[in-house]
Amino acid sequence: MADAEWVRQQAGVSLERLWPRVAALSEQTTPAQWQAFEARLRREWERLFGLLYDLYGGNYDFFYHLEQLLLAAGRSWLERPDWLKQLDARREAEPEWFQSQRMVGGVLYVDRFSGTLAKLRDHLPYFKELGLTYLHLMPLFEAPEGNSDGGYAVSSYRHVSPALGTIEELAGLAREFQEQGISLVVDFVFNHTSDEHEWARRAQAGDPKYQSYYFIFPDRVVPDAYERTLREIFPQVRRGSFTWREDMRRWVWTTFNSFQWDLNYANPQVFRAMAEELLFIANAGVEILRLDAVAFIWKRMGTSCENQPEAHMLIQAFNALARIAAPAMLFKSEAIVHPDDVLSYISPQECQISYNPLLMALLWEALATREVKLLEHSMHSRFKLPPGCAWVNYLRSHDDIGWTFDDADARWEWIDPAGHRTFLNSFYIGRYAGSFARGVPFQENPDTGDARVSGTLASLAGLEQALQSGDQQLIDLAVHRILLLHSIILSIGGIPLIYLGDEFGTLNDYSYVNDLDKADDSRWVHRPPADWQWRAQVQSDLASPHGFIYTELTRLIRLRQEQPAIWDGAMEVIESGNPHLFGYVRHHGGQRLLVVANFAEEAQELDGNRLRVYGLGYQFTDLLGGGSISAARALRLGPYQCVWLTATA
Ligand code: GLC
């Protein structure tokens, strides 16, 4: 790292030299617009310069890249639509907007949900009814036909897949959704491109400029050296992290599928090219950019090539650029790694929001064990985020579930981490006697015995098995598990995110095995197409578990949106004194909320004294159940019941 004072000086001198070229752009806009850009640039410049200098200062042509980047940022600002510039100003004036209790997220695949972007618009009333303020459209850019890893192999960052619509339609939708209070979330798949991207094609044709965009090797010497310390991500797809390309007679670095080529960010040209793609996507009206696979973007021999310091610097540099030319846009980190590493990506200068894989995994862990000790211990120390940041709390995503908890946390609670993971896998794959879950294994590693779990929320929570058994009691238990999990992500603090379909308790869809492009990837079991006819039937049928889940969930969402205490992520875990009860206190805007959740299928009690101490009162109202509760006695919670208590006296 260069010395701070030196960087400051050099940043100043460099900007002075570069400024005349950049300022020439000012003629193409109004003085006020240009001033806004210049002010942001001057505010962020030193940080951006320092990061880029550390990353690329050793390149002889560093200054050229700096100049090109600034020009790209300037041009992008000129092209930014006015409505987004207004949003930029609004968001800057209210930077904590996403901490609001009104925030509720949904995620969907356009093709599986509505078919096309045009038809997605028709579902706006539905999104409003559900209370969504955040809508993540799964990858929708051009991708190879057939298997494209669900779109995570991008062939063009500027064109929407023709089957879904056009980039203009996406931009139109972004604006319309924004007017209705829904922020558009889209992926930035920036660790790799598809092997059909123009850059990869040129590399295949032998163009050395584009070969340097990727990691391409003539023989196994370097790949073998890297592989000594790499983790296999998709061991069922292909062993190792490199793919042999017969057409080029070369090995290519492919962390994920063989058609996903890792980009080489040590090349400043790659950073610049991707920065331009990022700004283009921002100008389409994307408000939250989900940074895909952040852990993998920098490689260093002799390491796991995950979570390298340069990965953070790259994201911070992208962040600075966004602050300059598209300040309304936030970054969301997708780091499904050790909890310490997940945290390392979260800061206002890097990713303001992040998936919370730890909470997700531990909610399932507590459901399986009926004990909350690991959840309680981990959330106690690992939930807090820096100011200006927020978790995205989810119960499952389009991906598999992995048992990402800290081994030391587990040992502290007398849990053997490896044995526990084996237990959790067999529990959720349904191999454990007495398990309620119907998951499917994902990427079992024959060498390490490692595996992850696929499955919809409802199937994992027991609804599939219960419906097959026809046993009403088991169905009720499964429904209550589903509602219990939601009542936590809706109240714990951060943005709750629902994989759309789960709001109806959609079950696993095993038909993926008949599709050759999907059969090898069990994650398709939990990405079923929306069945609108079925939904219409069950939606208001409270006798159907699906209708009941939907009705209750929409009620929970409304309740969340009315509670000032749920603003932001400040949360204090309580010591419930009962191994099955997980509880926490939320406090904001003059409201105090005590949430207690029972993870057992038998009734449990919370001692009246604890209720008084944590709830700060004697009489309480349960916002969820509507009843009034006195601390004169123990609080009794039914199977999988959750209460949201506020003191009334
Ligand atoms: C992320 C995505 C996952 C994809 C991978 C490679 O982890 O969530 O679906 O397979 O990145 O892009």
| Closest C-alpha to 629, from 608, 613, 614, 610 | 608
CA distance 641 to 78: 54
Q: Give the mean pLDDT of the chain.
A: 96
Which residues are paired to 594 by β-bridges? 585, 645
Residue 95 clears pLDDT 80, i.e. is over it = yes
* Nearest alpha carbon, ligand 1 atom 12: 152
Residue 436 corresponds to which tokens in the numbers above? 């309620």
Q: What is the pLDDT of residue 239?
A: 87
Q: What is the pLDDT of residue 399?
A: 96
Question: How many angstroms separate the alpha carbon of residue 151 from the centre of ligand 1?
Answer: 9
| Closest C-alpha to 611, from 575, 571, 560, 567 | 575
pLDDT average, residue stretch 512-541: 94
- The radius of gyration computed from the CA coordinates of the chain, to the nearest angstrom, equals 25
pLDDT, tens digit, 9 for 90 and up, residues 232-286: 988 877 889 999 999 999 999 999 999 999 999 999 999 999 999 999 999 999 9
| Closest C-alpha to 326, from 19, 135, 73 | 73
Residue 8 clears pLDDT 90, i.e. is over it = yes
Residue 484 clears pLDDT 80, i.e. is over it = yes
Instruction: Say if CB 466 and CB 475 are below 8 A apart.
Output: yes
| Closest C-alpha to 270, from 213, 329, 331 | 213
Question: How many angstroms separate the alpha carbon of residue 399 from the centre of ligand 1?
Answer: 7
Give the single-character DSSP code of 510.
G
Instruction: Say if CB 584 and CB 475 are below 8 A apart.
Output: no
Is ligand 1 within 6 A of the CB of residue 149?
yes
**Pocket probe mutation, ligand 1, options 107, 234, 256, max atoms within 8 Å of Cβ:** 256
Residue 1 binned pLDDT confidence (cut-offs 50, 70, 90): low
Residue 562 clears pLDDT 80, i.e. is over it = yes
Question: How many angstroms separate the alpha carbon of residue 256 from the centre of ligand 1?
Answer: 8
pLDDT, tens digit, 9 for 90 and up, residues 163-209: 999 999 999 999 999 999 999 999 999 999 999 999 999 999 999 99
pLDDT, tens digit, 9 for 90 and up, residues 341-351: 999 999 999 99
pLDDT, tens digit, 9 for 90 and up, residues 617-630: 999 999 999 989 99
Is ligand 1 within 6 A of the CB of residue 189?
yes
**Do β-strands 105-108 and 134-137 pair in parallel, antiparallel, or remain unpaired?**
parallel
Active site residue ranges: 292, 334
